């Protein structure tokens, strides 16, 4: 069973959260509510999220301050943040959102289809990264195993399984990159996809080096 990605929805107004859930329910992922910046930060302490939809105008800790806290934490600093705001104060206000670490800045009322499409891109990238981490874990298992005889046969089987799984992820990543190019997607999404492809290339090289007769064990690509 494929594990669903979690999407964090942050807004102090219940009707706005309800609207976001209605728009994003078609993605069939896990939607998590937070009615304040403090509540959002608490949720981020324990769960991993594919993307955060963050309202700018909130009492107490507003969206900008919440984003600043998110970006200061090592665990959460790489999670994409999409700012949502009902007030358009012009370029300076938008720049402040990007400076706070947002990958996108959308004014209300927004087009439900556009919002859903943007969120789906980050969900796909998150799922690809999760699969990549699984490949790396299996590869480390292979490197730590080694041995002869029955154990060697087991390692060879694991290596073949790794290669097949990685090939599937490579194919999906290539298709996603083409989709981003065709749709003229946000620069942040394109950059994230390119980063994923580089990591896949490094993992493929490490996996190829494990083939019989290739010599020394490879160095695994760093995880981030």
pLDDT per position as a tens digit, 40-57: 999 999 999 999 999 988
Q: In the chain, which ranges are E strands?
A: 6-10, 30-34, 51-55, 81-85, 104-107
Contact indicator for 10, 64 with CB cutoff of 8 Å: no
CA dihedral 63, 69, 70, 72 (to 10 degrees): 140
Q: pLDDT per residue over 72-107, tens digit each?
A: 998 898 899 999 987 666 666 666 666 777 788 888
Contact indicator for 70, 38 with CB cutoff of 8 Å: no
Q: How many CA atoms lie within 13 A of 109 on its CB side?
A: 4
Neighbours of 29 (CB within 10 A): 19
Contact indicator for 98, 105 with CB cutoff of 8 Å: yes
Which pTM does this prediction carry? 0.66
Q: Which residues contact 78 (CB under 8 A, 6 or more apart)?
A: 224
Architecture of domain 6-110: 3-Layer(aba) Sandwich (3.40)
């Amino acid at each position: 069973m494929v594990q669903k990605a979690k999407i964090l929805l942050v807004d102090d107004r219940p009707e706005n959260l309800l609207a976001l859930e209605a728009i994003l329910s078609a993605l069939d992922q896990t939607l998590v509510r937070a009615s304040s910046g403090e509540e959002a930060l608490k949720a981020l302490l324990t769960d991993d999220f594919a993307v955060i939809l963050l309202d700018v105008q909130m009492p107490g800790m507003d969206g900008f301050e919440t984003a600043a806290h998110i970006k200061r934490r090592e665990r959460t600093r790489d999670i994409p943040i999409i700012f949502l705001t009902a007030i358009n104060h012009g370029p300076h206000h938008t720049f402040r959102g990007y400076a706070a670490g947002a990958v996108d800045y959308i004014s209300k009322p927004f087009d439900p289809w556009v919002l859903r499409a943007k969120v789906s891109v980050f969900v796909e990238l998150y799922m690809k990264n999760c699969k990549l981490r699984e490949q790396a874990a299996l590869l480390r298992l292979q490197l730590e195993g080694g041995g002869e005889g029955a154990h060697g046969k087991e390692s060879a089987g694991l290596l073949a399984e790794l290669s097949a799984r990685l090939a599937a992820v490579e194919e999906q990543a290539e298709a996603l990159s083409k989709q981003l190019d065709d749709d003229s997607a946000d620069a942040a999404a394109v950059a994230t996809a390119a980063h994923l492809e580089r990591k896949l290339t490094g993992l493929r090289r490490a996996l190829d080096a494990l083939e019989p007769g290739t010599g020394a064990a490879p160095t695994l690509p760093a995880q981030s």
